[in-house]
Amino acid sequence: MTRGNLPQISPSPMKIAKFYQRPRIYIYIYIYICIGTGSPSASSYHPLLSAPLNSLPILIKEMGSFTLTGLLKQVAGEFPSRPAVSVSGKFDLTHARFHELIERAASRLAAAGVKAGHVVALTFPNTVEFIIMFLAVIRLRATAAPLNPAYTADEFEFYLSDSESKLLLTSKEGNQPAQAAASKLKIPHVTATLSQSDSEVTLSSTQSESNIDIVSKIVNEPSDVSLFLHTSGTTSRPKGVPLTQLNLFSSVQNIKLVYKLTEFDSTVIVLPLFHVHGLLAGLLSSLGAGAAVTLPAAGRFSASSFWSDMNKYNATWYTAVPTIHQIILDRHLNNPERAYPKLRFIRSCSASLAPSILARLEEAFGAPVLEAYAMTEATHLMASNPLPVDGPHIPGSVGKPVGQELAILDENGDKQVAGVSGEVCIRGPNVTKGYKNNPEANKSAFQFGWFHTGDLGYLDSDGYLHLVGRIKELINRGGEKISPIEVDAVLLSHSDIGQAVAFGVPDDKYGEEINCAIIPGEGSNIDEAEVLRFCKKNLAAFKVPKKVFITDSLPKTATGKIQRRIVAEHFLAQISTAKVPKFGA
Ligand SMILES: *[C@@H]1O[C@H](CO)[C@@H](O)[C@H](O)[C@H]1NC(C)=O
Ligand SMILES: *[C@@H]1O[C@H](CO)[C@@H](O)[C@H](O)[C@H]1NC(C)=O
Ligand SMILES: CC(=O)N[C@H]1CO[C@H](CO)[C@@H](O)[C@@H]1O
């Protein structure tokens, strides 16, 4: 644990800021004059995103708005005494109190040396400290880089250095692998603690007085890079995705509108907050709507406390990945609650939801289950099934495009007609400006003026998107994307492994699971246990293959190439596929 003031942080602008500092964007507020009767009033919807067709926009230039930070400030003013963030059974913070905690935490971070353009890595369980510190970092016009606390020291080292982090923030319990990596990179480590709801977040570093006036003078710009996340790529190197205040703002508005989130909504956060799904769809959209979120007391999802939290905090909806929906369903079958809250909807995203599971969820919990489609590069949401008042939801489809333009393109960039598959492509201000420090990945993702998602799909005649597969070979383990090439690289770094190929296999619990096949090096008699031990040492647990096939040849295509799909089929045929699904609590 680092104590005392942080060393002076270099003031030189960071590469990330140079890359993404855009010319100042002109910000407009659209005021719609609704013509005719029955038009939604200008105040009841966000005007930019819900322009009624018969309204006439008048542009008025305004600086400093169109940021997530600005939106949350506005919410704190509009709904000061509505509940904002609760930690089940421990804390209940109103929007006004929550806003105050963020401003004060920001002043402490500023006193600790964090400046505009700095990247601050955060690795926390799902705690109130994480939420406050995340928003405090972006309040200072710095960039928050949330990291999965399950990473190994080597992985932390990669992420901390690739993001060019200047500071590591953790809970007071700390995170040994993260701290080891930070200390190797000479990145200071600071802990953040909120001991009571009426105290303030204290940092382990600040001894000097923090000054709230410094923060009140800082104006957040839509072009500020506020969030930096990585997505697994088809190369072994995960790709860094910088997202701006405008990206976050647009995405939050988008999600609020699609699901009609208001100050009367309440949800329990199920997913980790270091991914866009939990962060944007669960947390930030709720806060941006003046709604309430509850964090489980355990700092992570727990099937045994989920429904009691949902009941206690009068939840109106929740969002999760199919794996978690299955766990929740399984719990319902084995251990039903006496009563379930009346939900407006249940949302599923990040991996495909089997229509049979969708039907079982709807039956068990009496709420429409809306499947959606999202990715980090689009600041989460790209398509969603609508609420029942807005149209039917179609099992097996991820719904209609929302928030940005979406098209199905062939390899020449030509749009495909309804029913014909091609690559799902998007464009719009809600999409990232590009991958950081990765011109190759950026070039192949942005073609013909469109961002290419790598997913194959088609639009049906009603405009609903159906995904059919992935162009990229990512393994999607319950919403956690794993690059098989990254796993290959680790396997091949073992001196006793000659050839290695990682691949996805169907899995009842996670949708897809990772397996691998290896050919031992000359004269080696490496076994499965050693391969697994080595993987556990070098990969986060979720990336470690669940089964290792040791072989002396790998199936190849006619042209001699190893194709993962073929390798997967070859080895799967060798084992019994009769697995009994088991979803524990
Ligand atoms: C939930 O609703 C009940 C009944 O309306 C109310 O008494 C209770 O205070 C609510 N709980 C929360 C945490 O809002
Ligand atoms: C990525 O490509 C897009 C489209 O060509 C371009 O506008 C953007 O500046 C690129 N970003 C980076 C970081 O290279
Ligand atoms: C707020 C914002 O910029 N949202 C945009 C998201 O993308 C669509 C499509 O380009 C725009 O129409 C929205 O204005």
State how far the Cα of 310 lies from the Cα of 294, in Å rounded to an integer. 8
Q: Can you list the pairs that 408-417 forms with residues at least 24 positions away whose Cβ atoms lie under 8 Å?
A: 408/457, 408/458, 408/459, 409/448, 409/450, 409/452, 413/447, 413/448, 413/450, 416/458, 416/459
- State residue 79 phi and psi, 5-degree precision: -125, 55
User: Residue 289 is encoded by which pair of tokens?
Assistant: 């709507």
In a domain, 226, yes or no: yes
Whole-number Å distance, alpha carbon 256 to ligand 2 midpoint, is 29
Ligand number nearest CA of 242 is 2
State how far the Cα of 427 lies from the Cα of 84, in Å rounded to an integer. 32
Same-domain check for residues 241 and 366:
yes
What CATH number corresponds to the domain at position 535?
3.30.300.30
* Residue at which a domain ends, from 426, 458, 490: 458
Same-domain check for residues 49 and 96:
no
For atom 1 of ligand 3, the residue with the nearest CA is 250
Neighbours of 226 (CB within 10 A): 29
Q: Is 571 in the pocket of ligand 1 (CB under 6 A)?
A: no
Ligand number nearest CA of 447 is 2
Q: Is 193 in the pocket of ligand 1 (CB under 6 A)?
A: no
Helix, strand, coil tally for the chain in percent (to 5): 30, 25, 45
Q: So what's the pLDDT on residue 193?
A: 95
Element spanning 568, H or E: helix 564-572
Whole-angstrom CA distances from 377 to 145, 398, 430, 500 are 15, 17, 9, 30
User: Residue 165 is encoded by which pair of tokens?
Assistant: 């982090």
Same-domain check for residues 454 and 502:
no
| Closest ligand 2 atom number to CA of residue 437 | 13
User: Residue 446 is encoded by which pair of tokens?
Assistant: 């942005």
* Residue at which a domain ends, from 458, 485, 516: 458
Cβ–Cβ under 8 Å, residues 167 and 114: yes
In a domain, 210, yes or no: no
In which domain, by residue range, is 41 found?
Answer: 28-61
Same-domain check for residues 177 and 32:
no
**Site to substitute for ligand 2 among 228, 436, 442, most atoms within 8 A of C-beta:** 442
Whole-number Å distance, alpha carbon 174 to ligand 2 midpoint, is 37
In a domain, 386, yes or no: yes
Whole-number Å distance, alpha carbon 176 to ligand 2 midpoint, is 36
**Site to substitute for ligand 3 among 250, 252, 258, 380, most atoms within 8 A of C-beta:** 250
Same-domain check for residues 491 and 443:
no
Same-domain check for residues 34 and 148:
no
Same-domain check for residues 78 and 166:
yes
The answer to pTM > 0.85 is no
- State residue 191 phi and psi, 5-degree precision: -105, 155
Cβ–Cβ under 8 Å, residues 550 and 526: yes
Same-domain check for residues 508 and 442:
no
Same-domain check for residues 192 and 272:
yes
In a domain, 580, yes or no: no
Ligand number nearest CA of 316 is 1
Ligand number nearest CA of 406 is 3
Whole-number Å distance, alpha carbon 429 to ligand 3 midpoint, is 5
For atom 5 of ligand 1, the residue with the nearest CA is 314
Q: Is 311 in the pocket of ligand 1 (CB under 6 A)?
A: no
Whole-number Å distance, alpha carbon 314 to ligand 1 midpoint, is 6
Ligand number nearest CA of 294 is 1
| Closest ligand 1 atom number to CA of residue 292 | 14
Q: Which of 375, 443, 406 is nearest to 232 (CA)?
A: 375
What CATH number corresponds to the domain at position 186?
3.40.50.12780
| Structural Rg of the chain based on CA atoms | 24
Residues lining ligand 3, judged by CB closer than 6 Å?
A: 48, 250, 253, 403-405, 428-430
Same-domain check for residues 256 and 403:
yes
Q: Which of 367, 362, 323 is nearest to 582 (CA)?
A: 323
Packing angle, helices 95-111 and 68-78, rounded to 10 = 140
Q: So what's the pLDDT on residue 393?
A: 97
Whole-number Å distance, alpha carbon 474 to ligand 1 midpoint, is 43
**How many distinct structural domains can be found in the chain?**
3
State how far the Cα of 14 lies from the Cα of 162, in Å rounded to an integer. 12
Same-domain check for residues 274 and 359:
yes
Q: So what's the pLDDT on residue 27?
A: 27
Same-domain check for residues 542 and 406:
no
| Closest ligand 3 atom number to CA of residue 66 | 1
Mean pLDDT by 10 residues, the chain (585 residues): 35 33 28 24 32 29 69 96 97 96 95 95 97 98 96 94 96 97 97 90 76 88 94 67 92 94 97 93 97 96 95 97 86 91 95 82 97 87 95 94 92 94 86 84 89 90 86 80 80 86 88 92 90 95 94 71 77 58 26
Residues facing residue 33 across a β-bridge: 56
Q: So what's the pLDDT on residue 469?
A: 66
